[in-house]
Amino acid sequence: MKKREELKVLLIQLRKDPETTIDELKQFAKHTGLEISQFDTLQVFEEDAYDTDKLEQYDALFVGGSSDDADALLIEDTPLFARLAKKVIRAAYERKMPVFASCFGFQAAAVELGGKLIYDEDSEEFGTLPFSLTDSASDDLLFKDTQAPFFAVVGHKKFVTQLPEGAVNLVQTDLCPFHSFKFTDRPFYAFQFHPELTKQQLLEWLTRYKERYFTDKKGFFNEEAFLRAVTGHVEVPEANALLGKFVDRILLA
């Protein structure tokens, strides 16, 4: 059995902005209790290919979120970065290696492994929202001691409407019936919300990129919308704890 300091993780990152990319890596390291040096990253916007045999070097695959994905998972001519991410996710699934997939990773895993995804702007979920657990979570390794409802950082307009075969649903909201799934025959977990992000990180990102997120097509910055977006959030300790539980109860078990 490996020690914590011996673990090695591959993190797929899907962000074009260097500062956000570094922030995301730091958050994954912080909440797993691992050192940044224990992560290697696959920057899919910078690579054309990946030799999936390299997965043998790692104890787990993590997949992060993306603010640059547009409709990559919904169009027939899937962009290279999304094809590359899905290829590595598929390879990890077939190897039955431990996987922790967040946000875009959740959507990509669902699509690649046989589920269905739709776009629904009218049902957008954003902020630090409450989540409930399904009956399947009661004896799950990660969720069995999670207090419900719990809060997590979330931001999405795409919804999984059907899980892959062999997957069970663990978390839901009133608007979104599928917020986390696992496979019953392998240590593969996916989360539509962001277990790696804190309230503080959310506020920092919204402030850093407020011009991008709150400027309309005519170039008008919507100050009122920005202020609404940064107001009313809560801490999300139960969600953040999932990463440490994944390491302790799966990778080190």
Q: Where are the domains of the chain?
A: 4-197+236-251, 199-234
3-state secondary structure of 25: helix
Pairing of strands 150-156, 125-133: antiparallel
- Name which of 133, 154, 181 is nearest 236 in CA terms: 154
The string of pLDDT tens digits covering residues 2-61 is 999 999 999 999 998 899 999 999 999 999 999 999 999 999 999 999 999 999 999 999
pLDDT of residue 68: 59
* Cα diameter, the chain: 58
> Which residues of the chain are under the pLDDT cut of 70?
67-70
CA dist 66 → 15, 106, 111, 150, 195 (Å): 5, 11, 16, 23, 14
Closest of 160, 197, 189, 222 to residue 15, by C-alpha: 197
- 133 within 8 A of 146, measured Cβ to Cβ: yes
Residue-level pLDDT at 75: 74
- For residue 190, the cross-strand partners are 101, 181
DSSP 173-188: -SS-S-SEEEETTS-E
Nearest to 14 by CA among 73, 77, 85: 85
Residue 45: closest CA among 79, 87, 89, 70: 79
Which pLDDT score is estimated for 214? 87
198, 110 contact by CB (below 8 A) = no
Count of C-beta atoms within a 10 Å radius of residue 53 = 9
Q: Is 8 helix (H, G, I), strand (E, B) or coil?
A: coil
The alpha-carbon radius of gyration of the chain (Å, integer) is: 17
Place of tokens 């967040």: 102
Q: Which amino acid is at 216?
A: D
DSSP bridge pairs for 118: 159
Alpha-carbon 185 to chain mean position: 21
**For the domain with range 4-197+236-251, which CATH number is right: 3.50.50.60, 3.20.190.10, 3.40.50.1860, 3.40.50.880?**
3.40.50.880
The pTM of this model reads: 0.95
DSSP state of 139: G
pLDDT on residue 184: 96
